[in-house]
Structure 1
Amino acid sequence: MRGRFARAARLAALLVLAGTVQAAPVHASEVAHPFTVLGTPDRRDVVTWGASADRTGDAVADRSYRLVVHTSVGGGDLRIRLSNAFGDRPVTFDSVYAGLRRDGAELVHGSNRPLTFSGARSVVVPAGGVALSDPLPGRLPAATDLVISIHTPDAAGPATGHWMAMQTSYATQGDHTAQESAGAWTETTGSWTYLDAVSVRPPTGTAAVVALGDSITDGWQSTSDLDRRWPDYLARRLSTAHTRVKGVANEGISGNKVLADGAGQSALNRLRRDVLSQPGVRTVFLFEGVNDIKAHTGVTAQDLIAGYREIAQRVHAAGKCVVASTVAPFKGWSEWDPAGEAVRQEVNTYLRGSGDFDAVTDFDHILRSPYDPERMLPFFDGGDHIHPNDKGMQAMADAVDLSRLDCAGRR
């Protein structure tokens, strides 16, 4: 399969006209966070990998990044999305390649191929914008380590990316994007810089689910470099299941909240860019709220419920279904207290019975100890009493009713 991708990728990329498009209706809570898209989306595309954008420090000029990502659904006509969502000036990408990983920073021989943007080898992405590459002909297999190599000649100001990747990628000075060897890639990084989505064109009818969440969804306390976040386990289940939902995009941000900006923009403020703008999304899986509760900012259960309802309404207005999960136990974490626990219990009661969602997965029930329901079962505890370990992540994914991710009746 790698050979077919490599041979087909030698063909010239298809031309796509660039333009400013709107991925979904703008909601009042996102007016302060507009973004433009360079490139023309295709309704046949489906997201196979995603990572929510945030500020990742200061940009560095004449810098190359070799970013390792793991696909979910396979398909043809690979496209990537580069993000300058948090930049304060345009950023130029003058060399971008896609290849298959052999080991570390080394690529499979013959697989590294240049990507174009509206037919050009370089693209200038405005502040607040994203850019879609042209389709790269050839088939990209499912469950593959894809490597995107990018070079920024004059980057400055705030850089955009995803800082907690739980995946080793690579960096170097100068442009080494075309090289398939690992020789120049001597620096390692635990972040994905500028890249925020990859899509493919799978068989007709295939769709994706996007996990909208915080550090638990982001994978903290799972084993790095082994793809053991709960959305990864979910992708493995979907790959063999009789369902049209095959793609999985992980849009978790460590520390993220439903209601307030802080560790990334709030779920309300990033819903359009990180979730609804992704191609082929059938379902949004909402699993957030613990950071709102434990922050001791006076957030009430009714505040959170209003936020959940707004997300559900906006997802439904976009013609997609939304599955929610209960908030998991976190007694033993330093910020836990009885008042916050009372909010969590009230929120979970709402989530289980409100009817605002197309389905509900009870992660609280799966993860909690039968001896102390306010605390995570030690077998699933990653050690800090709030983040599950690999076994906990797998148990969460196993608890998802795959048949409820389709919502075939909703358009």
Structure 2
Amino acid sequence: MRARFARAARLAALLLLAGGAQAAPVQASDGPHEFAVLGAPADPRSVVTWGASADRMGDGVADRGYRLVVHTSTGGTDLRIRLSNAFGDRPVTFDDVHAGIRRTGAELVRGSNHALTFEGARSVTVPAGAVVVSDPLPVRLPAATDLVVSIHSPDAAGPATGHWMAMQTSYTTQGDHTAEESAANWTETTGSWSYLDSVSVRPPAGTGAVVAFGDSITDGWQSTTDLDRRWPDYLSRRLQTARTHIKGVANEGISGNKVLADGAGQSALNRLQRDVLSQPGVRTVFLFEGVNDLKAHTGVTAQDLIAGYREIADRVHAAGKCVVVATVAPFKGWSEWDPAAEAVRQDVNEFIRTSGDFDAVTDFDHILRNPYDPERIFPFFDGGDHLHPNDKGMQAMADAVDLPSLDCTGRG
């Protein structure tokens, strides 16, 4: 009962803060710019169908084209994309942006490639620290589609924004070939997504989305490249055939990410608003982070991590959404494992299982651990480094998620 009252007090404080500053942009902790969403007005019927967390990349290249392959979750109409300059130090212009359906490789289905506009214009300049949302494209996008977004920037320079570890082959070119459906000029490959950080559609009424919020395991490391075998991909396939209103899935994992400290991307606490809560149609946040905090040997205690989890849960609840949390998976055999980190993991998992601070719990520790040596991942699920699951482990994780727990009406 005491924990319930404490949670209510934290939530009330956050609601007061949110009520006083709901329309204000969110300050990014490791950059000089505020996060702002520009472009066409938000559509309350839109739901995110694909997402990838933004991070700093190398320097942008002028007159470079990107043909970015992404696999959607829910289907719908009125396709919109979001382009990010969150980590840029200067404006970047996109003078030609198209979206089409992939046939194979960099080749598109004939007749599927359409120009996107931004408040009616074909060109858009995104200030440093901002994201921009396109106008809706009046086409129907089927569920589970390989969508191809082709973008060109005539002036990109300075730090670029994107997602390093896509586990998906995309394509680049020099010059503007975005309108072409042929692959002839898209001969260079890349394993990253540049500038694009989400796609949304207007699905059937009542449809919502879940955001998988995590680190390299969520990002898909050790799953098979180009086959969409990250655990959120397997979860999406379950959701598309299930009797549930949750059909949208956004993967907001970053390899090496921590709950508490910036490093491999901003911390979960610092990127929660931009990567998760600002996405349209999100009903539930699925939090699976923590192993990078406790194995880094920086002195992080169980109480430190618990405070971070509670802050995330309180902020998600203050936004009127639900939060499902997963236990931290075993990693004995990984080079940074030691008994002290294991002790923190055990204490954190006990809190996750018993605190009642979350709307639901998925026990990934129980699913992935070796029953004969529970501090280790089960060999059948081990991707080879004793931390990251392979394809079978990813599928087992997705299969362990209780789908009704994701179909949440939110918290007010």
Same fold per superposition (TM over 0.5): yes
Q: Sequence identity of aligned pairs in percent?
A: 83
Change (3 A) 1:33 1:207: farther
Provide the C-alpha distance between the structure 2 equivalents of 1:276 and 1:409, rounded to a whole number of angstroms: 13
Structure 2 stretches lacking a partner, 5+ long: 1-20
Provide the C-alpha distance between the structure 1 equivalents of 2:411 and 2:76, rounded to a whole number of angstroms: 25
Change (3 A) 1:34 1:331: same
Partner in structure 1 of residue 49 of structure 2: 48
Change (3 A) 1:28 1:389: closer
The count of corresponding residues between Structure 1 and Structure 2 is 391
| 2:303 counterpart SS class | helix
Change (3 A) 1:345 1:330: same
1:110 is aligned to 2:128: no
1:410, CA displacement in angstroms? 3.2
Aligned AA for 2:325? A
Q: Is the 8 A contact 1:80 1:198 kept in 2?
A: yes
| 2:132 counterpart SS class | strand
| 1:270 counterpart SS class | helix
Q: Is the 8 A contact 2:252 2:275 kept in 1?
A: yes
Partner in structure 1 of residue 5 of structure 2: none
Partner in structure 1 of residue 239 of structure 2: 238
Aligned AA for 2:315? R
| 1:35 counterpart SS class | strand
Partner in structure 1 of residue 167 of structure 2: 166
Provide the C-alpha distance between the structure 1 equivalents of 2:310 and 2:129, rounded to a whole number of angstroms: 27
Partner in structure 2 of residue 277 of structure 1: 278
Change (3 A) 1:59 1:28: closer
Q: Is the 8 A contact 1:24 1:318 kept in 2?
A: no
Aligned AA for 1:168? T
Q: Give structure 1 regions of 4+ aligned residues with deviation exceeding 3 angstroms.
A: 21-33
1:28, CA displacement in angstroms? 10
Provide the C-alpha distance between the structure 2 equivalents of 1:365 and 1:347, rounded to a whole number of angstroms: 14
Partner in structure 2 of residue 122 of structure 1: 123
Provide the C-alpha distance between the structure 2 equivalents of 1:329 and 1:342, rounded to a whole number of angstroms: 11
Q: CA deviation digits over 1:24-72, x for unaligned, max 9? A: 8858979976311112211100000000000111110000000000000
Partner in structure 2 of residue 334 of structure 1: 335
Q: CA deviation digits over 1:335-371, x for unaligned, max 9? A: 0000000000000000001111000000000000000
Partner in structure 2 of residue 11 of structure 1: none
- Answer with 28-37 or 325-334: which moved more: 28-37
- Answer with 87-96 or 32-41: which moved more: 32-41
Partner in structure 2 of residue 86 of structure 1: 87
1:152, CA displacement in angstroms? 0.4
| 2:69 counterpart SS class | strand
| 2:258 counterpart SS class | coil
| 2:297 counterpart SS class | coil
Partner in structure 1 of residue 6 of structure 2: none
Q: Is the 8 A contact 1:29 1:268 kept in 2?
A: no
Provide the C-alpha distance between the structure 2 equivalents of 1:33 and 1:312, rounded to a whole number of angstroms: 26
Change (3 A) 1:252 1:24: farther
Give the TM-score normalised by the residue count of structure 1. 0.93
Provide the C-alpha distance between the structure 1 equivalents of 2:409 and 2:373, rounded to a whole number of angstroms: 38
Q: Is the 8 A contact 1:23 1:276 kept in 2?
A: no
| 1:61 counterpart SS class | coil
Partner in structure 1 of residue 137 of structure 2: 136
Change (3 A) 1:208 1:23: farther
| 2:184 counterpart SS class | coil
Change (3 A) 1:240 1:30: farther
Change (3 A) 1:176 1:27: closer
Provide the C-alpha distance between the structure 1 equivalents of 2:290 and 2:233, rounded to a whole number of angstroms: 21
Partner in structure 2 of residue 368 of structure 1: 369
| 2:243 counterpart SS class | coil
Paired residues for 1:27-38 under 5 Å: 34-38=34-38
Provide the C-alpha distance between the structure 2 equivalents of 1:173 and 1:195, rounded to a whole number of angstroms: 18
1:310, CA displacement in angstroms? 0.1
Aligned AA for 2:37? V
1:385 is aligned to 2:378: no
Partner in structure 1 of residue 11 of structure 2: none
Provide the C-alpha distance between the structure 2 equivalents of 1:124 and 1:23, rounded to a whole number of angstroms: 22
1:406, CA displacement in angstroms? 1.5
Q: CA deviation digits over 1:251-270, x for unaligned, max 9? A: 00000000000000000000
Q: CA deviation digits over 1:94-126, x for unaligned, max 9? A: 000000000000000000000000000000000
Aligned AA for 1:250? N
Partner in structure 2 of residue 298 of structure 1: 299
Provide the C-alpha distance between the structure 2 equivalents of 1:361 and 1:256, rounded to a whole number of angstroms: 20
Change (3 A) 1:363 1:134: same
1:140, CA displacement in angstroms? 0.2
1:87, CA displacement in angstroms? 0.2
Q: CA deviation digits over 1:302-347, x for unaligned, max 9? A: 0000000000000000000000000000000000000000000000
Provide the C-alpha distance between the structure 1 equivalents of 2:380 and 2:133, rounded to a whole number of angstroms: 43
CA RMSD of aligned residues (A): 1.6
Change (3 A) 1:22 1:200: farther
1:173, CA displacement in angstroms? 0.5
Aligned AA for 1:197? S
Partner in structure 2 of residue 8 of structure 1: none
